Amino acid sequence: MNSLANKYRGHLPIIENPNKDGTLTLFNLQMSQNQNTFAAYSNLFNHLIKNNEKIGRIIEIGTARGGLSILFKLFCIVQKCDFITYDIIHDTIYSDIFKILSIDYRIIDCFNPNSRIEEEIKKEDISIVFCDAGNKNLEVNTFSNDLKSGDIILAHDFIDESREDAYKYWPCKEAYPSAIKLALEKNNIQPFFYEDFYKSATFCGRKI
Ligand SMILES: C[S@@+](CC[C@H](N)C(=O)[O-])C[C@H]1O[C@@H](n2cnc3c(N)ncnc32)[C@H](O)[C@@H]1O
């Protein structure tokens, strides 16, 4: 990495008025995110890489159209780590690209023990678990029990109604603080890059 490239491995700005329509197209890839998702993940990934922390895998629970999965996979190819994406139905519109990129796309209920999510999380190096399926609170409450120290868990559609800016960044509340509080405490998970991710409608926490 030359010094100029390292200099720009910096913090990307988060915008105050992102799209709130539920769908975003980036490079013509469709996903259910707002524009802050890219800055938030970029800031998280750059932080880990700068600190020489080895990412073992990203696990996306809830693939849907699959645009975000493609971006995660490209990152994982560059970082030489694993990427798995789960959905209960085959809903991607990018099947051909999933094949070209050899995306590990598992069609199974994430709560089915045969999904082997627990085993995947427990493998060595940092697991990044993105809960974005049908019951985000339950996904956090379930999979946070499997995290190792240093692992990261995220939940999309996260809204904290006690904040004045609660619905400023996203219209849809499917995860919220009171529903995941006990699991976070029990598993020693602290907020991580909290503000960046809050503004992308996502909770991000890291197991200490
Ligand atoms: C909000 S979408 C995912 C959005 C995607 N991560 C993105 O950023 O574009 C939720 C997806 O979770 C899937 N889903 C719902 N319940 C599930 C379950 N129990 N296990 C796995 N996937 C599930 C749905 O079929 C749907 O495609």
CA 67 to centroid of ligand 1, rounded, Å? 13
pLDDT of residue 11: 85
Q: Is the CB of 5 under 6 A from ligand 1?
A: no
Whether the Cβ atoms of residue 174 and residue 156 lie closer than 8 Å to each other = yes
- In this predicted structure, the answer to whether residue 23 has a pLDDT above a threshold of 60 is yes
CA 139 to centroid of ligand 1, rounded, Å? 11
| Bridge pairing between strands 126-131 and 55-61 | parallel
- What tens digit of pLDDT does each residue of 25-42 get? 999 999 999 999 999 999
- What tens digit of pLDDT does each residue of 76-111 get? 999 999 999 999 999 999 999 999 999 999 999 999
Q: Is the CB of 139 under 6 A from ligand 1?
A: no
Separation CA 119–CA 13 (nearest Å) = 35
Instruction: Please report, rounded to a whole number, the percentage of residues in the chain having pLDDT higher than 70.
Output: 96
Sign for the CA dihedral angle at 202, 94, 27, 22 comes to negative
Indicate the pTM of the whole model: 0.97
